[in-house]
């Protein structure tokens, strides 16, 4: 655990007692603070009380008397579509609002590293798609190379749950826009921006607010090195804003759409080959085509970002390639569930928006596509250009019929639930085809999470394997 610094003897409120909230309360207590907690879920309050935390409804009058700060869990709105009532109460009381990410950076920076030969480094990864795989891949490659490394944030453990990094240690964080938007301290050594596509727009008041939340990771903390995906205008803008001039190698540009040239530091992938260029000359390359854990152009972008980070941290191209070869991928992200009679079954339940589903479709040929769920803002029009590989779509979700109508030019069957969708796809599939779950929608109309949806898909597939 990383004990929170700077709050010794102070009273701090914690709203939301899920993984990050409860770990924040523990870390505050370890640092000498008094944590006062609240969650609307009685079971969550009971769990906190069993650990000795006081639970107090923070929306009640006087709840913020004597409180120094409010620590907010990422799932709770702090501005859009409307501020939570407790956030409003904190504003009225003049109490600063922060989150566990802000506490982490403030506390980590207060650690005494004078006796270390090499100070710990923090790598923070954000973006719309691919940040989990990128963060996990960085962690895997560093671990395979013998580096002391921990993975936390929006993946794995809460940031305050990890052990304080030791001499030369690395902490890899996946950070969502919810986390970067609110944190009062953001000071990574290396920051990664994978890409940007419409998502969570209700929480950020539109695309401008969404991008601004991501941009804070770079603008607020001034990382020593920035790895920026430049295949969208936002990434190109961000790279331009961060560079001090032509050839500034503190900014590493990443692309999977074009060869990057010029005097700077570039990492790009074309036709399955990753290339690293510095000062106009190639200095490294990796053939990504046979790496089973990184299928498709979207994973090649993840590989480019991870490669750039690991090069920044001193690894040689050969070490990175060895780590790539042994990477098994993440559950629910282009996860190959199995193969039988020439048919592959792939679980990409994490493809919850149009852009991520399009990338999943482009990674495979001859696809029997299981899709549908709670549709996000913007419709499905942006997905249609990626459906050339689709043999047939099998649509699930409560609004399956309306979803299917939007799949213009694609043969679609309304199935409703996962069991029927998998059964019908298996009945019609031919050798050489892929049965792919890539919903292009949230899961909450039928499942508690995208993980539960992916688990259901794998359970149904298991009946046929």
Residue 130 labeled ligand binder = yes
3-state secondary structure 196-213: CCCCCHHHHCCHHHHHHH
- DSSP alpha helix (H) spans, 6-96: 19-30, 42-50, 85-93
Residue 131 labeled ligand binder = yes
Residue 245 labeled ligand binder = no
The two structure tokens encoding residue 271:
């036709």
Residue 126 labeled ligand binder = no
Coil, strand or helix at 336? strand
The two structure tokens encoding residue 300:
């090649």
Specify the residue for token string 């941290």. 313
Q: Rounded to an integer, what distance in angstroms lies between the CA atom of residue 279 and that of residue 261?
A: 9
3-state secondary structure 353-396: CHHHHHHHHHCCCCEEEEECCECCCCCCHHHHHHHHHEEEEEEE
Cβ atoms within 10 Å, residue 203: 20
Residue 214 labeled ligand binder = no
Distances (CA, A) of 154 to 127, 300, 332: 12, 21, 15
Whose CA is closest to 372, among 333, 336, 416? 416
**Helix, strand, coil: what percent of the chain each, to 5?**
35, 20, 45
The two structure tokens encoding residue 117:
């030969």
DSSP string, 227-271: EEE-SSHHHHHHHHHH-SSTT-TTEEEEESSS---SSSEEEEEET
For residues 143 and 41, is the Cβ–Cβ distance under 8 A? no
The answer to whether the peptide bond before residue 81 is cis (omega within 30 degrees of 0) is yes
Residue 443 labeled ligand binder = no
The two structure tokens encoding residue 201:
């727009």
For residues 226 and 126, is the Cβ–Cβ distance under 8 A? no
Specify the residue for token string 């482009």. 362
Based on its alpha-carbon atoms, the radius of gyration of the chain, rounded to whole angstroms, reads 23
Instruction: Name the DSSP class of 34.
Output: E
Residue 132 labeled ligand binder = yes
Q: Residues marked as binding? A: 127-133
Residues in binding site for ATP: 127-133
């Amino acid at each position: 655990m990383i004990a929170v610094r700077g709050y010794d003897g102070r009273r701090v409120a914690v709203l939301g007692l899920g993984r990050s909230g409860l770990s924040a309360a523990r870390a505050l207590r370890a640092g000498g603070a008094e944590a006062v907690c609240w969650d609307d879920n009685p079971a969550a309050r009971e769990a906190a009380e069993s650990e000795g935390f006081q639970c107090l409804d923070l929306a009640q009058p006087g709840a913020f008397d004597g409180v120094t700060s409010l620590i907010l869990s990422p799932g709770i709105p702090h501005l859009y579509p409307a501020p939570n009532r407790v956030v409003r109460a904190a504003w009225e009381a003049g109490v600063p609002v922060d989150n566990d990410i802000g506490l982490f950076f403030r506390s980590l920076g207060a650690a005494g590293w004078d006796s270390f030969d090499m100070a710990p480094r923090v790598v923070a990864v954000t973006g719309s798609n691919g940040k989990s795989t990128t963060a996990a891949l960085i962690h895997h490659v560093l671990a395979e190379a013998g580096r002391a490394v921990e993975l936390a944030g929006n993946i794995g453990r809460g940031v305050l749950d990890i052990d304080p990094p030791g001499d030369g240690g690395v902490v890899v964080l996946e950070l969502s826009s919810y986390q970067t938007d609110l944190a009062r301290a953001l000071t990574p050594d290396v920051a990664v921006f994978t890409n940007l596509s419409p998502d969570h727009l209700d929480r950020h008041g539109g695309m401008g607010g969404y991008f601004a939340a991501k941009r804070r990771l770079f603008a607020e903390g001034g990382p020593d090195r920035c790895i920026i995906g430049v295949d969208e205008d936002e990434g190109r803008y961000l790279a331009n804003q961060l560079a001090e001039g032509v050839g500034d190698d503190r900014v590493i540009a990443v692309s999977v759409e074009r060869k990057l040239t010029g005097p700077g530091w570039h990492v790009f992938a074309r036709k399955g080959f990753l290339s690293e260029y510095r000062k106009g000359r190639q200095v490294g390359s990796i053939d990504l085509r046979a790496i089973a854990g990184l299928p498709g152009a979207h994973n090649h972008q993840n590989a480019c970002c991870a490669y750039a980070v690991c090069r920044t941290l001193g690894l040689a191209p050969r070490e990175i390639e060895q780590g790539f070869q042994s990477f098994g991928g993440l559950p629910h992200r282009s996860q190959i569930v199995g193969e039988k009679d020439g048919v592959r079954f792939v679980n990409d339940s994490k493809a919850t928006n149009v852009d991520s589903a399009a990338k999943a479709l482009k990674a495979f040929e001859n696809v029997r596509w299981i899709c549908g769920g709670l549709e996000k803002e913007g419709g499905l029009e942006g997905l249609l250009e990626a459906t050339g590989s689709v043999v047939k779509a099998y649509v699930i979700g409560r609004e399956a019929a309306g979803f299917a109508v939007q799949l213009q030019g694609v043969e679609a069957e309304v199935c409703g639930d996962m069991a029927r969708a998998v059964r019908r796809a298996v009945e019609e599939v031919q050798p050489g085809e892929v049965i792919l779950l890539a919903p292009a929608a949230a899961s909450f109309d039928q499942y508690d999470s995208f993980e539960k949806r992916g688990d259901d898909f794998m359970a149904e597939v298991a009946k046929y394997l």
